[in-house]
Amino acid sequence: MTQIVVVEDEPSISEVVSLYLNRAGFEVSTFSDGLSAFDSFSKKLPDLVILDVMLPGMDGFSLIRSIRDRSDVPVILLTSRREESDRIAGLELGADDYVVKPFSPQELVSRVRAVLRRTQTKLESPIQGIIQTGNLSINPQTREVIVNGSEILLTAKEFDLLYHLAAHPRQVFSRDQLLESVWGLHDFIDPSTVTVHIRRLREKIEKDPTSPMRLVTTWGVGYKFEP
Ligand code: CA
């Protein structure tokens, strides 16, 4: 059974979310603060985490940072409508998606299913060859990326995005095309997600992230991989 952890300090939200997720066939554990949720992860990682940004003690951002230090478990953030900066910060820290409060529980269930589908499709996707170009090597079987002989740690989405671009060298993709190919459900996700991921990838693989040689912007159109 798919296990979901909900970290939310407002009991009314936590209860309704649990109810809908249970009805949708998920097993749910709830925590009202970040620290106890984090403690539970050291015993067992769930299949997905739903995380409120505003929590007492260890906030959602600290928690997602700690989670990403050791795991690619999918994370959906709950954020407030006013704080766009929160959503960007959350994605930069490695959240897979976010839902803005107030949200309908049914919408959250759809997001959960979409995120799980993306994570699972990844496992089922056919194995393709290693991409080797200059100082960069990308292995889709082991999901390892080597730059100048050292392994670079990427989140699941960063890897998928890099692999998709590198598998189609010099082809320019718009942000919408990348959302559709890499994230799957572009209706639900903000196109700035792509920008954020490209920026993070450049910081990890480019010699000088401010003048990228690999992940190149084609102004007004999108991005391409330069081999
Ligand atoms: Ca809260």
User: From ligand 1's centre to the CA of 110, what distance in Å?
Assistant: 21
Q: How far is CA 183 from the centre of its chain?
A: 9
End-of-domain residue from the set 124, 141, 176: 124
Number of domains in the chain: 2
pLDDT at 86: 80
pLDDT at 216: 96
Same domain? For 74 and 144 the reply is no
User: From ligand 1's centre to the CA of 8, what distance in Å?
Assistant: 6
Instruction: Render pLDDT for 166-196 as a digit per residue (tens, 0 to 9).
Output: 988 889 999 988 988 888 764 567 889 999 9
Q: How far is CA 167 from CA 135, 143, 160, 190, 206, in A?
A: 16, 14, 10, 24, 18
Environment of ion ligand 1 (residues, CB < 5 A)? 9, 52, 54
pLDDT at 122: 54
Residues 6+ apart with CB under 8 A from 199: 92, 209
Instruction: Render pLDDT for 126-166 as a digit per residue (tens, 0 to 9).
Output: 446 888 888 899 998 889 999 999 999 999 999 999 999 99
User: Domain with 148 in it: what CATH number?
Assistant: 1.10.10.10
Whether the model clears a pTM of 0.85, i.e. scores above it, the answer is no
User: From ligand 1's centre to the CA of 54, what distance in Å?
Assistant: 4
Rounded to whole angstroms, how far apart are CA atoms 116 and 114?
5
Instruction: Render pLDDT for 1-24 as a digit per residue (tens, 0 to 9).
Output: 899 999 999 999 999 999 999 999
Do 78 and 98 contact (CB within 8 A), yes or no?
yes
User: From ligand 1's centre to the CA of 109, what distance in Å?
Assistant: 19
| Residue bearing the bigger pLDDT, 89 or 28 | 28
Q: How far is CA 145 from CA 30, 121, 148, 155, in A?
A: 35, 20, 10, 11
Domain encompassing residue 78 = 3-124
